[in-house]
A and B are shown apart, each in its own frame.
Chain A
Amino acid sequence: MQARKARKAINAVLKAHGQKRDNLIPILQDIQERMSCLSPEALHMVAEHLHLSENDVYGVATFYAQFRFHPPGRHRIKVCQGTACHVRGGGQVLEAIVRKIGIFPGETTEDGNFSLERVACFGSCALPPVVVVDDKVYGRMSARKIEKLIEGLE
């Protein structure tokens, strides 16, 4: 049932795009937005749709940092690692999160509650350090503030 539904959703995305190769990245982006990550089945279907080899599709999907192959946690915490954040204590904020939820960047907690990512730069350099939780941008963070924020989510 689940699998049928997933296939249907993927097909809907594929239908909305043409079959030329330059659709590949937009297709992967749309699928990830709907399904939260790229499954082996999705990549297989994309390859068929665009008449590319699966290898080729994997090659592109793994090249770009945006694409995930495992579902993220219910709350996605992204920590900015930009230069301004770095010199204003972004590292300490990241460490505080690691201590608080017990996972490293790139991982998801066992209960599926949180996933943690580092992002090169959000471009909000004037309010460092920056953390983005579930697409909401938080500026002027500190180790203490982020701990409180996470406690509020748990």
Chain B
Amino acid sequence: MNFTDIKQQSRQSWERFARPDAPRVLVGSATCGRAAGALDVLRAFREACAGDPALDDVHIHEVGCLGMCYAEPLVEIRGPGGGRVLYQGVRGDMVPDLVREHLVGGRPVFNHAVCMMEGPPVEDLPLFQELPMIRHQLRVVVRNCGIVDPTNIHHYIARGGYSGFARALGMDSDAVIEEIKASGLRGRGGAGFPTGLKWGFARKSAGKIKYVICNADEGDPGAFMDRSVLEGDPHAVLEGLLIAGYAIGATHGYVYCRAEYPLAIERLQKAIQQMREKRLLGRKILGSPFAFEITIKKGAGAFVCGEETSLMQSIEGKRGMPRSRPPFPAVSGLFGKPTNINNVETLAAVSAIMEKGGQWYAGIGTEKSKGTKTFSLAGKITRTGLIEVPMGISLRTIIEDIGGGVLDGKGFKAVQTGGPSGGCVPAKHLDLPVDYEHLAQVGSIMGSGGMIVIDDESCMVDVAKYFLGFTENESCGKCVPCRMGTQHLLRILTAITEGKGSVEDLESIRKIGETMKKASLCGLGQTAPNPALTTLDSFMDEYLAHIKDRKCPAGVCRALIRFRIDPKLCTGCMACAKACPVGAVSGKKKKPHRIDFDLCIRCGACRQACKFNAVIVE
């Protein structure tokens, strides 16, 4: 079958799927949905529809993540006359109601409905594109997530998938590289290196055997963009890998995916099998001389394996330790052959660029940072989720408009970008345009796209300590500056959070940090001091409070705080006494309670349990 026929077949399959009057249930069951109970919901729908002959023609699908993770589990129901309605926070026990009202009766259940996925509007339900969280977004990389069935290649093809690859096949490989160069795309794995340029190096390298690798190791704690794309639209990434392979002249591709993402691996396996069925893999792809194979490699739980040279060591079956560059992978990479490695998001953008053209992509974003970027918005924010925005959008728009501001109306303190390699951008930079250059200007980095919002109840010294704890643990130990540097920094920061720090320590942090930046072998060690250095720059007063006053202003560092119950606010409801794991709270019912400081282990359980804000941290 040639590609025109495949497209024709796919279009028919998609039209059947997208028919507005065909009753369907789409359950968002990516990992985040599952964590919120999506599989129970899925089961409930299957059970509710199974016994009823009237519901025989209802199709139930698992789809990826729409990005509104805060509202999970999300379910879209298309019913006869009921339109396409998205429901939030669905639980198994709500299902019979949804089935009866929407699927049978054709009436949306308004108290759980968020929006209409498509017009015409019903009563005052807004359209999906008009939601505050969605309005400012531009969905390129996540174009299909939550919309198509990720286990159905026809859906992907019908929405333009593999057309970019088919176009590339008709072009000279140099022309493909020129197209990517024209798009201005830069690597989304962290470093932001121009993708077209990198492909050009690998293309020019001599050698018959070359490799392309998709880096799906996503080890940054707090980042889940790559996972969402792999789970929700695996073909977008695989098509990008295919295009990269064609452009540089590789015959074999690897996807290196972390083992903590079992669903992503499952979806990739299924997708690769479908590619094979459609002759998009193997020999004579789509009737051309191009041959290509893809192998999935599962990571084994080492953050440093996200670094390109160490990732290749890991594929080769060795300890995943970085090596010095040059030689660069484009010259000598996997098994000593020229290799090109790209991030998941980079490749998903590549397939869109080849479909719609480099000029189109270059029209989005800022002068030096083109296109869109996905971010995983998490931490102390009202609407957590996965978002994709044009480069250059302001931090304020992301946090206030898209994210709905800080959780529970608390004060915004900072946003952490770039994970353990990045830094904290303080509130005064809220109007900063988000792109590579501006984030670097304020001492942070774009990184892979983790964005953790920090409110005034989080301690910045504790945050720095948290990241150093992470990098100290993940340092591979090959070079001294990183191995010893992370240990020293962690020790100093721990001492400060315990009230045992001195002002001289701050100077040590700077000195050690600068040495690590200059002398470490790989990016892990070179960037590991960033969380400490940036918080030191912006939140010196918090460090000094810990050191000089032996106080943690945010009320986080255990050794420096005390919990007390305000007798004026306490109603004697006993909730805190029940929550306390060590029996440190005493008091009679309906009388103010007291905390025994000697027994208290400062776990904060009472504070969480209190509905009247009567537990005070000092």
Interface set of A (CB-CB < 8 Å, partner B): 20-26, 28-29, 50, 59-60, 63-67, 81-84, 86-89, 92, 95-96, 99, 119-128, 130, 135, 137-140, 142-144
Contact = CB atoms under 8 A, between A and B. Distances in A.
Given A86-B466, A139-B36, 12 more contacts: A22-B317, A63-B320, A66-B259, A83-B379, A83-B416, A84-B379, A87-B379, A95-B603, A96-B581, A123-B260, A126-B69, A135-B262
- Which of the listed residues A24, A82, A87 has the most CB atoms from chain B within 10 Å of its own CB? A87
A126 B317 contact: no
Contacts of A20: 317
A21 B69 CA distance: 41
A125 B378 contact: yes
B36 A59 contact: no
Contacts of A137: 31, 34-35
Contact of B380 (A81, A88, A121): A88
A121 B376 CA distance: 13
Interface string B218-229: 111111100100
Contacts of A86: 221, 466
B32 A83 contact: no
Nearest to B260: A122
Given A65-B301, A82-B221, A83-B419, A124 B35 contact: yes
B436 interface: no
B608 interface: yes
A142 B219 contact: no
Nearest to A128: B378
Given A66-B301, A127-B36, A121 B31 contact: no
Contact of B378 (A95, A120, A126): A126
Nearest to A123: B224
Interface stretch (B189-197, B232-240, B450-458): B450-458
Shortest Cβ-Cβ A-B pairs, 4 listed = A126-B69, A83-B222, A139-B35, A65-B301
A124 B300 contact: no
B511 to A, nearest CB: 26
Interface of B: 31-32, 34-36, 69-70, 72, 218-224, 227, 259-262, 297-303, 314-320, 376-380, 384-386, 416, 419, 450, 452, 454, 458, 463, 466-467, 470, 474, 476, 579, 581, 603-605, 608-609
Contacts, number: 156
Contacts of A50: 317
Contact of B222 (A22, A95, A125): A125
A35 to B, nearest CB: 16
A92 to B, nearest CB: 6
Contacts of B69: 126-127
A148 B36 CA distance: 17
Given A82-B221, A126-B72, A139-B35, A120 B470 contact: yes
B70 A126 contact: yes
A91 B231 CA distance: 28
Contacts of B384: 84, 125-127
Contacts of A138: 35
